[in-house]
Amino acid sequence: MEFHNPKLLPRGMHEIIVAFMPSEVYDATRVIVYPREPYRYAPRGEVGYDAMTDAYRIQLYPSECAGSLYWGGTYSFELWMQLLSTALHEAGHLATMRFRRDYRHEATDYRGARDHYEALAEAWCHRALGRILRVDPRLGQPLGALTGYPGDALRRWHKWGLEHPSRTSPSIIRAVREDWRASTCDGQLTPQDIVKKIVPRHAYEGHFRAMRSRLYSAIEQAAAALRIERFYTGRTGRRYRLFNAGEAEAVYAWLCAKGWGVRACHLAGKVKR
């Protein structure tokens, strides 16, 4: 297996990619990390076959991963998860090649075939993330600051938010603050991220204020039952609860076992989309 520009990846990600690369293509795979997109538009990652070198090629674009976040959690955790999930998704395309051969489709059904291949790779990626979570509650993210291109993007983002508070939206200032709190206690997710995972997005943006307050109380009960004590303590002595990825999954499972997922879906039907 051959790497190009591995220093652009965060510390620790190189080892994860090596550990999860399918054994049948391990020796014939090249991973290329680009500092910037080589053309106007670039996906977060690509996989292909290079006939000249007789090798599979995985291309990663950390600059694109830093520009499209949707995982939730602190900004550093989102950067880590975007790049990690992209790398595992592309490895999943190589791992599921044998299933692609079994899929028969019409010659004109390119969209259906593409969706099928993407679904196979995404399912493989989620299984790989589950395997990482079973042995590492931080989903492989090392302690301390991010390195590589995502670390540089995070520093520039923090610097902008701190130097231009009057020109920065309150959401960015809040995110910078949460990132700082999490870095002091090794946290990755806030209670709000767990609430958003349980309550559907359209319902969360609707009239769910009363339910959210009850749900926050339930999260406190779950943390106490699971003996999770991870706080950032401010100058005034106020404590802000945070979770790492494993703790957040444990709290989410506890809440679902208590019926909060069903209750949220039931109430979501009363909110107009």
* 273 residues of the chain, pLDDT tens digit each: 899 999 999 999 999 999 999 888 888 899 999 887 656 566 888 888 888 888 899 999 888 876 655 667 888 898 899 999 999 999 999 988 877 665 555 545 556 777 888 888 999 999 999 999 999 999 999 998 889 888 888 888 777 766 766 666 777 777 888 888 998 999 999 998 888 888 766 555 555 666 777 888 899 999 999 999 999 998 889 999 999 999 999 999 999 888 886 666 555 554 443
So what's the pLDDT on residue 103? 58
pLDDT score at 168: 63
**DSSP letter string, 125-166:** HHHHHHHHHHH-TTTTPPSS---HHHHHHHHHHHHHHHH-GG
Q: What is the CA radius of gyration of the chain?
A: 21
Note if the pTM is more than 0.75.
yes
Q: Can you list the domains of the chain with their CATH numbers?
A: 2-135 (3.40.390), 189-273 (no CATH)
B/e letters for 46-56, b = 16+ CB within 10 Å, e = fewer, are ebeeeeeeebb
Tokens of 100: 């692609």
Q: What pLDDT score does 227 carry?
A: 95
d(CA 18, CA 24): 13
The predicted pLDDT at position 150 comes to 86
Question: What is residue 273's predicted lDDT score, i.e. its pLDDT?
Answer: 39
Q: What is the pLDDT of residue 158?
A: 78
